[in-house]
Amino acid sequence: MNTGKRPSTLLYLLLVFAALFVFFAAGYGLMSLIYRWTGTPPDFWTHILSGLMGIIFFAGLVTIARLLMSRFNKGIRQHQSMQSQLLNALSRIAQGDFDVFVNTRNVFFYDDIAQGINKIAKELGSLEQMRQDFISNVSHEIQSPLTSIRGFATLLKNDALTVEQKNHYLDIIEAESKRLSSLSDNLLKLSTLETGNEPLSIKEFRLDKQLEKVALMLEPQWSNKNITMEADMEKLTIQGDEDLLSQVWINLLHNAIKFTPEGGLIRIILKASNDEVSCQISDTGIGIAPKDLIHIFERFYKVDKSRDRALGGNGLGLSLAKKIVELHGGRITPQSELGKGTTFIIYLPRLHSV
């Protein structure tokens, strides 16, 4: 044990004596230079002054070394603290805790890493909130028709019901089943489009003919409400996914019919401008307030939840329409005013670019 310590102790003593020799020699040399200007004092004072200068040099070096070591140790402690914070933040994020913020405390070379972690935590927290909201909304949308189906199915067990009552309950069950089917279809379409698992089936087709076909398909709905359907459409050919774009027009016209009162008006205007086409679908319906207009493309958002549910909506139609338009390199712009109707303008490129 002792033989292991002696070399290190001896080396330390040798270094100390070497340092003393160097600094006393430096002190002697400096004093010799000073004596050239001031003259040489007696030998006794020459040795005393040279020794004092050597001690001053040595003390100064020790002080500087201690300051440097103190700053170095402080820096090490700062680095260790920052590393601990960073590792702790990453560990919390990995465990699903996104309420994380790393303060660099002026340790500048950790700034980029800390800002990156803070950004990741914030974005993951937003995504987690969206996921929770999505699950909550889906659960709510599924629960409502299921409750109706279960309730009216129970009522049908009553043998005292008349044929008219049974048919009424069966109609409700059928309508709620369609709501569930529509919700499932729209969720599947949105998921497929957002993940990009199914590429667009691009082909050339007449857009005016497609809009005319959709309007005629929905004729029973708008004619039952005595709604006037007007169309001013140029003969236009575009490149796009015909089936997906058909879904856009169905969703927009269905909403226009749904929220336009008896005897109202729906107008379709289709025209070309440079390399794009614009399709304007306007109605004289109830309109949308500005505070709601900014949210209408969000999933499950409903301007009037009670009214929309009674009319069979699930809050996914506009989200789906916007996604399809954007996949085609286009954009959709809403304009609305309460009591004065709503207008959607869809801009699409005539030629699809991959």
**Binning pLDDT at 50, 70 and 90, where does residue 348 land?**
very high
**Chain Cα centroid distance, residue 64:** 52
Alpha-carbon gap, residue 301 to 171, rounded angstroms: 27
Report the distance separating Cα 22 and Cα 33, nearest Å: 17
Identify whether the C-beta of residue 200 lies closer than 8 Å to the C-beta of residue 240.
yes
- Judge whether residue 306 has pLDDT over 50: no
Residues β-bridged to residue 335: 343
pLDDT at 131: 67
Question: Do residues 161 and 289 make contact, with C-beta atoms less than 8 angstroms apart?
Answer: no
Residue 158 carries which side chain, given as an amino acid letter? N
Cα separation, 18 vs 221, whole angstroms: 103
CA distances 306 to 88, 100, 290, 314, Å, are 46, 38, 19, 11
Mean pLDDT is lowest, of 26-30, 118-122, 173-177, for 26-30
Q: Two tokens at 221?
A: 């709905």
- Across the chain, mean pLDDT equals 79
Query: What digits encode the pLDDT tens for the residues 157-194?
Result: 888 888 898 898 898 888 888 878 877 777 777 777 77
Residue 96: pLDDT band (50, 70, 90) is: confident
Q: What are the b/e assignments for 157-177, b being 16+ CB within 10 Å?
A: eeeeeeeeeeeebeebbeebe
Q: Which residue has the higher pLDDT, 277 or 42?
A: 277
> Tokens for 181?
């089917």
Helix (H, G, I), strand (E, B) or coil at 339: coil
Question: What three-state secondary structure class fits 343?
Answer: strand
Q: Flag whether pLDDT at 5 surpasses 60.
A: no
Q: Find the mean pLDDT for residues 288-297.
A: 86
Contacts of 23 (CB under 8 A, 6+ apart): 54, 55, 57, 58, 61
**pLDDT given at position 7:** 53
- The answer to whether residue 28 scores a pLDDT higher than 80 is no
**CA-to-CA distance for 348 and 329, rounded, in angstroms?**
7
- Does 269 have pLDDT greater than 90? yes
pLDDT surpassing 90 at residue 211: yes
Whether 250 has a pLDDT exceeding 80, the answer reads: yes
Nearest to 352 by CA among 246, 196, 192, 237: 237
